[in-house]
Amino acid sequence: MLKHPHLDSVSKLNLKKDLFLDFEISMNVLKEGFYDIIVKSNEIIALALDGKEIGKFEESSDVTENKVTAFLSKGHHSLYLVYLQAIGAKGIEALYKPVEDKGSGNLIGVDTDSISFSGITQ
């Protein structure tokens, strides 16, 4: 049985086809406030912000959109995203947006006037 440190044991994995992708993203929040973090995927996803789990979404046969709302204060934050690819189509898309923004969001990693991902030192 395979165990990931941020997911429960997963027993149906085929280690020749299935994989975990762990993303650790540093970001600098320029405008504090409530943000939606949106993940589109058909697999198991876990999200942590500054070391605290903020969301866990189970697998689905179809791509689903999962959203977590979190308050981000100004300054440096670390977002950790775990993706398990085990069945079906492959793919993941992660976005963010201020809650009051009615748009679809910005790809995580793309700078806006609210959050910067470039030039971060820890």
CA dist., res. 103 & res. 31, Å (int): 17
User: In DSSP terms, which residues pair with 33 in a beta bridge?
Assistant: 72
The pLDDT score that the predictor gives to residue 86 is 67
Residue with tokens 């085990």: 86
Per the CB < 8 A criterion, the answer to whether 82 and 9 are in contact is no
CB count, 10 Å around CB of 101?
Answer: 14
User: pTM (2 decimals)?
Assistant: 0.77
Over the stretch 2-60, which tens digit does the pLDDT of each residue have?
A: 445 545 544 455 555 667 778 889 999 999 999 999 988 877 678 899 999 998 877 66
Over the stretch 67-119, which tens digit does the pLDDT of each residue have?
A: 999 999 999 999 988 887 766 666 788 899 999 999 889 999 999 999 999 76
